[in-house]
Amino acid sequence: MSDTNSKKVKITLNGKEIEAPAGQNLLDAADANGVEIPRYCYHPGLSVAGQCRMCMVEVEGNPKLQIGCNIRCSDGLKVISDSEKVKNAVKWSLEYHLVNHPIDCPICDQAGECGLQEYYMEHGQYKSDMHEQKVNKQKVVDLGDHIVLDKERCILCSRCVRFTQEISKTSEFGIFNRGDRSVIGTVDDKPLTGNYQVNTVDICPVGALTSKDFRFEQRVWFLDETESVCSGCSKGCNVFVHHKKGKHIYRLKPRFNEAVNSYWMCDKGRYTYKDSNYDRRLSNAKMAGVDIPYSEAIQTWASDLRVLVATERTDEIGVWISPHHSNEELNSILDTFSGKLKVTKFYSENIEQIVQKDESVDGFLLRSDPYPNSKGFLSTLQGKKVKTQSTDDLIQTIKKGGVSHIVLICPEGQRILPEMLKISKVLSPFQFVIVLTPQLAAMEIFSAALSLPTLGHYEKTGTFINHAGIVQHTAAGFKMFKESHSVTDILNDLMIAQAKPAETRERMAT
């Protein structure tokens, strides 16, 4: 994040003339042009430290090698990064980093995405000249709820130190002692605090800082990567979802987006994947707790709707929605119920109030609005001229007997569960309840209802509007359960089944 001007300058990198913004860091300029200069301590989101000496380059007019991360692009700069002299320097630099490294890759969680492993394959010298005993340091240091520190594996790049100084502003990490006894750590190994701890694991180029949540869970080379947007709050941080063949999500990692979250994300958002994971998910359509096929569930729902439509009682339908859904899902919900079935009773939380009160919780990323698409929710409702009432209104209407057909389109997450519990307490056998949810817990609350599994947040494709009005697209990369469908697909199937019962039955059977 160098302060770059819009002015472009011409620099020569390995004999090739390239254009770069004036003042841009040389490593960033090299990255943009496909030249890889090895680095450990340099991170584009942090200040320059010059700790690791891996990015040595030759600069014309300078007799000695110098570090690339401390060079800003200026007109006429001539840099060579692939000469023998540079390669030799990088090789010995890496050897020096490995002097006291324990090489315990088999038990290290970083193995597979480790900077040492990657550069060793390219620049390593394969035959160590080091015959001294390695300096032993503390291993498995517990640093609070999220992080485990291994002081032996650390190469003292100081990325985590700079992160806690510059980004999270907690200044917890420091380098202690001198020489080969230098270690990274907190004072008296005190646990870390704050909501941005796990970012230090992401930026750690080696396995010194590892996440407790991911500890020993899976080797990283088994993981597949899908791009998505966090569901934790209205910030909408860009994330990578790491999962194994779509059957088990293991972790979320921040994805760079300068306009939204830069290189970071909060710990609260990082653990939102747990609600989308297989063990908390509804895998099959259920009627009163018994598994039924998807087509049968749609038929059951459609036949009840047909009665209501035929007797012109569609005003007895109540629909509960929330801004956890994408714009496309909300559109199809409103098209179906407001447009085709002329339903007027929509219920949700008081989203307008939540959006008005929305503010940054800690002055950085996390916001008070817990929904990823509140803005999209309000604009979609405005576009369709639909107004929602509160959950308490729904409870009052149920008590009065004003609704007999209740559709609850629940998202995942713990937040909606208390409201669902309140609704479930006033229900009687006279109401037909349909729960569209990805979550097992929501289905269990309405044990007598018809439950249909929907897609989890990280399986959806759609657009979400964050607090600043930025529209972000998520692409579906995997599907955890065969029987789960998107809300849009379910409502489409419902409308077809409702209109043409016999034909649909045939279509679904095939």
Partner 1 sequence: MSNLIRKPTLESKSYLIGIFKGLMITGRHFFMNLLGLSKRPTIQYPEQKRNYSSKFMGVHVLTKKENGEIACTSCMLCATNCPAECIHIVAAESPNPKVEKYPAVYEIDLLRCVFCGFCEDACPVDAVRMGRDYELAELAERNFVVGIDYLMNRPALNNKNISVFHEPHKVVTKTAVGH
With respect to partner 1, which residue has the nearer C-beta, 140 or 288? 140
Give the Cα separation of 192 and 197 in Å (integer). Answer: 7
With respect to partner 1, which residue has the nearer C-beta, 216 or 430? 216
- Please list, in sequence order, all residues whose beta carbon lies within 8 angstroms of the beta carbon of residue 156, skipping any fewer than 6 positions away: 51, 175, 182, 184
- Minimum CB–partner distance for residue 212 and partner 1 (Å): 10
- Minimum CB–partner distance for residue 251 and partner 1 (Å): 15
- Minimum CB–partner distance for residue 218 and partner 1 (Å): 8
- Using the rule CB under 8 A, is 396 a contact of partner 1? no
Q: Which of 87, 139, 244, 505 binds partner 1 (CB under 8 A)?
A: 139
> What are the phi and psi torsion angles at 119 (to 5°)?
-75, -25
Give the Cα separation of 493 and 28 in Å (integer). Answer: 50
Q: Which of 101, 248, 306, 505 binds partner 1 (CB under 8 A)?
A: 101
With respect to partner 1, which residue has the nearer C-beta, 221 or 430? 221
Q: Which of 8, 122, 171, 222 binds partner 1 (CB under 8 A)?
A: 222
- Please list, in sequence order, all residues whose beta carbon lies within 8 angstroms of the beta carbon of residue 332, skipping any fewer than 6 positions away: 487, 488, 491, 492
- Using the rule CB under 8 A, is 35 a contact of partner 1? no
- Using the rule CB under 8 A, is 259 a contact of partner 1? no
With respect to partner 1, which residue has the nearer C-beta, 96 or 492? 96
With respect to partner 1, which residue has the nearer C-beta, 79 or 249? 249
Q: How many CA atoms lie within 13 A of 144 on its CB side?
A: 19
CB atoms within 10 A of CB 302: 21
Burial of 74: CB neighbours in 10 Å, binned 0-12, 13-18, 19+: middle
- Using the rule CB under 8 A, is 219 a contact of partner 1? yes
- What secondary structure does DSSP assign to 288-317, as a single string? TTEE--HHHHHHHHHHHHHHHHHTT-GGGE
With respect to partner 1, which residue has the nearer C-beta, 91 or 101? 101
With respect to partner 1, which residue has the nearer C-beta, 245 or 313? 245
- Minimum CB–partner distance for residue 114 and partner 1 (Å): 13
# residues contacting partner 1 (CB under 8 A): 17
Task: Kindly compute the dihedral angle of the four CA atoms of residues 216, 217, 222, 224, in this order, to the nearest 10 degrees.
Answer: -130
Neighbour-count burial for 139-166, b at 16+ CB within 10 Å, e otherwise: eebebbebbbbbbbbbbbbbbbbbbbbe
- Minimum CB–partner distance for residue 290 and partner 1 (Å): 28
Site for partner 1 in 179-218 (CB under 8 A): 215-217
- Using the rule CB under 8 A, is 471 a contact of partner 1? no
Local structure of 494: helix, strand or coil = helix
Options 25-33, 98-106, 200-208, 401-409: segment touching partner 1 (CB under 8 A): 98-106
Task: Kindly compute the dihedral angle of the four CA atoms of residues 111, 114, 118, 124, in this order, to the nearest 10 degrees.
Answer: -90
Chain residues binding partner 1 by CB under 8 A are 98, 101, 103-107, 111, 128, 139-140, 215-217, 219, 221-222
